[in-house]
Amino acid sequence: MVVDIVIVGGGPAGAYLGYRLAQSGIQAVIYDDSHPHSHPREKPCGGGVTPFALEKFPLLKDVPCSYRYIDKMLFISPEGKEAMVGGQTLMNVAREHLDGYLLQKAVDAGAKLIKERVTGVVEDATGWLVRTEKGEYRSRLVVGADGASSVVRRATVGRIPREDVCACIGYYARGVERDYSVMKFLKGFQGYAWIFPRETHSSIGVGLDIKQAKNLKKYLDGFIAEYCPDIERIAPFGALIPMAREPKFYEIPCSGKNWILIGDAAGHVDPLLGEGIRYALWGADLAAEAITGGEPARFDALWREAYYRDFVEACRLREFVYNTDMLERGVALISRSETFARIMMGVVAGTQSYRGLRRKVTTSLLRILSEAKSRDVLSMD
């Protein structure tokens, strides 16, 4: 079969690209073997969809089921100090339903779904040869939306380097009686443990520290024992997540004249907090713009214009932020200053950009310090 555009992967990135192209009258063929039934599988994920993502992609609000809006976040420092912050509402969603909904939107709009796993893509003089377990297809343009271990990436710019990928592990669990999400920072660990309550279950996990892969289970067990020992574990999960260690990672191109990488395949995940759903859809949107404009290679300039600088800044902040001393002070300041709490919650919600963060904190410093001081005085009374 000869097709014009092949999208490998029908997760949020691939499905949304298929949908956007179909809206412009372009039919893409999406390959994904993980959708044997009407809904796709549950993908290992917190499932936290930020206010930024909900605002930019309003269709996310129409996921038909298994989501829960949560408007509070409990930050816990490595030593156990706590600060509860409200003011931003995240949607915690089961990926089975989010991904199924987006893929169905793509198919309903006109994209074609082939439920086959792509085993390799090879470029030759006439375009791309796409091999699956069942057959061979030819295509003019190939898009890699096939996650952190992308076969399209391997055939274009090469695998994501090992040092720029990390593992997350956790459980889907019942019995978390909370109406707030939890982010617990850990000693000597550049990442966090989380509890994201959803409609019928919760996602509980730990990850994001590239150097701590071997110790993840120890951190997860310790976190569960301390903060949610009575949960009913439904199933364990573990998955890789792109996590650029240095800004240099982003110098690798994400498109060429007849190929594009989007979402996790491009490594487009917030390198500080691990948010990826927003960038999966954002990248897809920009890829659709490049493709409909007849210049797929332009995608590389488009994503750089949109969110490259935020990734670079987040990367630079990691050593500074994930420092036990800094996290202790940070959580203490969140509990004492409403202004600082609002800024930090804005970062988690995506409404405060990384590139504007230093400036925001600097210009708010006097207010933050005065709020913190008056709380100290009050707490002494």
Ligand X SMILES: Cc1cc2nc3c(=O)[nH]c(=O)nc-3n(C[C@H](O)[C@H](O)[C@H](O)COP(=O)(O)OP(=O)(O)OC[C@H]3O[C@@H](n4cnc5c(N)ncnc54)[C@H](O)[C@@H]3O)c2cc1C
Positions that interact with ligand X (CB under 6 A): 8-14, 31-34, 43-48, 117-118, 145-147, 151, 168, 205, 207, 239, 241, 263-265, 269, 274-278, 280
Residue closer to ligand X (CB basis): 350 or 371 = 350
Q: Closest approach of Cβ 10 to ligand X, in Å?
A: 5
Q: Name 141's bridge partners.
A: 5
In angstroms, what is the minimal distance from the CB of 48 to ligand X?
3
Residue number, nearest CB to ligand X: 276
The rounded distance, in Å, linking the Cα atoms of 242 and 249 is 10
Please identify, using beta-carbon distances, which residue of 280 and 327 lies nearer to ligand X.
280
Residue 37's φ and ψ, nearest 5 degrees, are -115, -170
Q: Compute the least distance from the CB of residue 265 to ligand X, in Å.
A: 6
Tokens matching residue 39: 């809904």
User: Of the two residues 275 and 300, which places its CB atom closer to ligand X in the complex?
Assistant: 275
Nearer CB in complex with ligand X: 171/340: 171
Number of C-beta neighbours around residue 25 at 10 A: 8
Min dist CB 310 to ligand X, Å, is 14
Strand-pair category, 181-185 with 192-197? antiparallel
Closest approach, Cβ 375 to ligand X, in A, equals 31
Q: How far is CA 94 from CA 4, 101, 181, in A?
A: 33, 11, 15
CB of 149 to ligand X, least distance (A): 7
When the beta carbons of 31 and 189 are compared against ligand X, the nearer one is: 31
Query: What is the Rg, in whole angstroms, of the alpha carbon atoms belonging to the chain?
Result: 21
- Contact between 170 and 37 under an 8 Å Cβ cutoff? The reply is no
Contact 204, 228 (CB under 8 A): yes
Nearer to ligand X, 14 or 368 (CB): 14
Closest CB to ligand X among residues 153, 336 = 153
Least distance from C-beta 99 to ligand X, angstroms?
7
Q: Which residues contact 125 (CB under 8 A, 6 or more apart)?
A: none
Phi-psi region of 26 (alpha: psi -120 to 50; beta: other; left: phi over 0): beta
**Minimum distance from residue 248 beta carbon to ligand X (Å):** 21
Tokens of residue 365, six digits:
């410093």
Q: Please state, in angstroms and rounded to a whole number, the distance separating the CA atoms of residues 324 and 79.
A: 9
Strand partners, 131: 120, 136
Which residues, at least 6 apart from 329, have a Cβ–Cβ distance to it below 8 Å?
none
Using the structure block, give the residue that is written with the tokens 């990488």.
Answer: 261
Closest CB to ligand X among 181 and 339?
181
Cα dihedral across residues 1, 122, 12, 299: positive or negative = negative
In the chain, the largest separation of any two C-alpha atoms, in whole Å, equals 78
365: three-class secondary structure by DSSP: helix
Q: Which is nearer to ligand X, 236 or 338 (CB)?
A: 236
In the complex, least distance from residue 332 CB atom to ligand X, rounded to whole angstroms: 25
Min dist. Cβ of residue 150 to ligand X (A): 7
Phi, psi values for residue 344, rounded to 5°: -65, -40
Residue with Cβ nearer ligand X (121 or 333)? 121
Give the closest residue to 266 by CA, choosing from 355, 140, 118, 164: 164
